[in-house]
Amino acid sequence: MPTPLRALILGAGYAGQGHALALRLAGVEITGMASRTADVGEKIAASLQIPRYSADWRGLLTELKPDIVAVGTPGGTHLEMISAALEAGCHVLADKPLATTAADARTLHELAQARGLKTAYAASYWYQPQALFARELVAAGVLGKVVEIEAVSHFNWPSLMPFGWPHRLETGGGRLNNNFPHLLAISQNIVQGEILAAMGESRNDLKRTPIGQAVHDFRDFAKQVMSPEEAAKLKWAEVNSDWSYTALLRIGDPQKPLDEAVSVTFRHSALRRGRYHDYMAVYGEKGTLHVDGTYMQGPMYLKTDGPTWEELAIPLAIRDSLPDEVDHTQRNWNQLAREFVADIQGQPHPRYLTFRDGWIYQEVIDTVRSNACWQRLET
């Protein structure tokens, strides 16, 4: 029986825990975990039955010599950690963003290529069952030629969450770094095309935020919201990350004219309240597919020539092809880990997102964040 692959997990928060569970389910032995928050991280590692824990991730990398390193820390740490893991000869699974700039993301992609190492990029809503079914419907011609995709979401997050990595671009914060990759992955998977062009704008709606208790796990930011009275007693920090964006893309065949590519519109605002549910929609010449939920987690509706919208059921074959896990995010991480490990072991596997995709996605993010499309009219 072959010796199982061994993995080191960097980060003990939401993503670190999720990647550890996903890789273990894929047959990988989790030999160590590192986290900047020593007391919390040690408890997390123990709860996951991970034998070695340390706040010194470089020391663990040298000591354990893992086959795989999973990086689930905030994006501002990724360049240093991923570079060290690749230099040590490890395959790497990294959460999004791959890096905080396109230049750094490209550096990581090229380093992995030069070392001949496998990489995985966890814009993992690529695997959302509704997205996989939408891909089948498009391929079968149910919608006709697809001309447009639209994604609209308003999270209505509270502004008085404690200051942390989401509030600074250099630490990996911002909605483009953290919300947008999932939406882009869904759209790209549905139409099976390359990202050909991009433009857009981003906006910082949150200039300052109170410095409260440090947050270890991303899921806890909203749990530690302060009242205006509590926040007024604290010191405040400057915020430079984007909390709203509009991105316009073309996705299609690079061998064909750009005007034949699918137009994709992404509209997201984290702090504002919307009247209607978040949704994604795919528009074709024969029909429209509408799916509720920010990341296509909700009901699916199809309208073709008839007067009414038909609610669709996801085929059992799609559900059965994915890990048996009720949590959307964990299930999608599990599937990515399954395909990544199969690739490392030389087994057949579908296309999954790699550092090349992480680099291209960051190119799009940098383009949108530059706001270069606007031209003031002289009247």
pLDDT digits (tens, 9 = 90+) for 83-125: 999 999 999 999 999 999 999 999 999 999 999 999 999 999 9
The residues with which 201 forms a beta bridge, in sequence order, are: 246
243 within 8 A of 204, measured Cβ to Cβ = yes
301, 302, 305, 308 alpha-carbon torsion, rounded to 10°: -20
Question: Does 228 have pLDDT greater than 70?
Answer: yes
Burial of 3 (0-12, 13-18, 19+ CB in 10 A): exposed
Cα(287)–Cα(199) distance, rounded to whole angstroms? Answer: 27
Q: CA–CA distance from 296 to each of 73, 150, 179, 314 (Å)?
A: 25, 12, 13, 12
Mean pLDDT score of the chain, rounded to an integer? 96
The pLDDT, as a whole number, for residue 309 is: 97
Cα Rg of the chain (Å, integer): 21
Per-residue pLDDT at 300 exceeds 60: yes
- Given a cut of 60, whether residue 74 has pLDDT beyond it is yes
β-pair type (146-154, 262-269): parallel
Strand residue runs (E) in 261-373: 262-269, 279-284, 288-292, 300-303, 310-312
Q: How many whole angstroms separate alpha carbon 61 and alpha carbon 82?
A: 11
For 379, the 3-state DSSP assignment is: coil
Contact 172, 289 (CB under 8 A): no
Residue with tokens 């960097």: 10
Tens of pLDDT, residue by residue over 163-196, are: 999 999 999 999 999 999 999 999 999 999 999 9
| Residue 247: strand pairing partners | 200, 266
- pLDDT for the residue numbered 360: 97
Residue 207 dihedral angles phi and psi, to the nearest 5°:
-80, -35
pLDDT at residue number 274: 94
pTM: 0.96
Is pLDDT larger for residue 39 or for residue 11?
A: 11
pLDDT at 369: 95
Q: What is the pLDDT of residue 47?
A: 97
| Cα–Cα distance for residue pair 6/50, rounded to 1 Å | 11
119 pairs with which residues across the strands? Answer: 92
Kindly list the structural domains of the chain, giving each domain's residue range(s) and its CATH number in brackets, ordered by start: 6-125+331-364 (3.40.50.720), 136-320 (3.30.360.10)
Q: Which residues are within 8 A (CB) of 155 and not within 5 positions of it... i.e. 6 or more apart?
A: 268, 269, 270, 271, 294
The pLDDT value given to residue 1: 56
pLDDT confidence of residue 375: 73
> And the tokens for 176?
């483009």
Q: Are 24 and 68 in contact (CB under 8 A)?
A: no
Spatial neighbors of 109 by CB under 8 A, at least 6 apart, are 98, 119, 354, 355, 356, 358, 359
* 214/208: higher pLDDT: 208
